[in-house]
Structure 1
Amino acid sequence: MSTQEPTVETVSTGADKAKLAGAAVLLLASVVAFYYLGKQDLWLRVLALLALLGAAIALFFTSESGKQLIGFGRDSVREVKKVVWPTRKEAMQMTGYVFAFVFLMALYMWLTDKTLEWVLYDLILGWSH
């Protein structure tokens, strides 16, 4: 028996698709307006860009996809609050272990490289540097 919650698929309605299309059009319109107003003052161009971007975002968040994104964000915040973060001492110890491991691996790889270089070039091929 599965303890997992059943997933529910929502069917995208025509109105929902229209909202998403409208948000895409507003997004495109914000960029077009910014460049169309090229001879105007910068503050006016930025204001038009931000206003149309804000409208696009607002329209997106009224769609089913936007509501799902908001729900996902809320669930993510709820899960992050459940995390047990390490103490400073634990974090410093683990960081030290990581640095020590990286140093040892770098040393091992350097020694392996130099050994193979010596075997290949000096012993087998007889080349000297």
Structure 2
Amino acid sequence: MQDKLKLGLVGLLVAAGVVGFYLLPETQTVLRVLVFVASVAAGAAVFWFSAPGREFVAYAQESLVEARKVVWPSRKETTQMTMMVFVFVFVLALFMWLVDSSLSWLFYDVLLRRG
């Protein structure tokens, strides 16, 4: 129940920041931005202390640990794979063009005799 109240408060804080941004005159741009940033920061602080906030932080930390485990390909491997993709796309485009031209010839020239 407390977490639902905290999440509701987060929503209200962010909504108050948006409303405050639009209620302040356009001539006070710095104040408008500060009000919005302060409300988002306050909402983030409240979210941080809720259970979903703690779960999100744990998830983000685990994601960073997993991202460090990734083995990135070398420049040579990346170039080779890119060239393979380009060749495959070219061959596929050529094949599709041949099929389209053949079917067009078959239907329009042979079957329908429209030449």
**Is TM > 0.5 for Structure 1 vs Structure 2?**
yes
TM range (shorter): over 0.9
User: How far has the Cα of 1:85 moved from its partner?
Assistant: 1.3
Runs of 4+ in 1 over 6 A off after TM superposition: none
Match in the other structure for 2:64: 77
SS at match of 2:72: coil
Match in the other structure for 2:107: 120
User: How far has the Cα of 1:59 moved from its partner?
Assistant: 1.0
Distance 2:96 2:42 in 1: 55
Bigger helix fraction: 2
User: Could you say if the C-alpha distance between residues 90 and 39 of structure 1 is closer, same or farther in structure 2, counting changes exceeding 3 Å?
Assistant: closer
Bigger drift between 37-46 and 101-110 goes to: 37-46
Selected match of 2:28 from 38, 41, 45: 41
What do the CA deviations read for 1:6-39 (whole angstroms, capped 9, x no partner)?
A: xxxxxxxx21111111001011111111111135
The aligned length equals 115
**Letter matched to residue 103 of structure 2:** L
SS at match of 1:126: coil
SS at match of 1:38: coil
User: How far has the Cα of 1:91 moved from its partner?
Assistant: 1.1
Distance 1:63 1:93 in 2: 48
Where in structure 2 are there 5+ consecutive unaligned residues?
none
**Letter matched to residue 84 of structure 1:** V
User: How far has the Cα of 1:117 moved from its partner?
Assistant: 0.8
Structure 1-normalised TM-score? 0.84
**Letter matched to residue 78 of structure 2:** A
User: How far has the Cα of 1:60 moved from its partner?
Assistant: 1.1
Say what the alpha-carbon RMSD is for the aligned residues.
1.1
- Summarize the alignment of residues 36-115 of structure 1 with structure 2, pairs less than 5 Å apart: 36-115=23-102
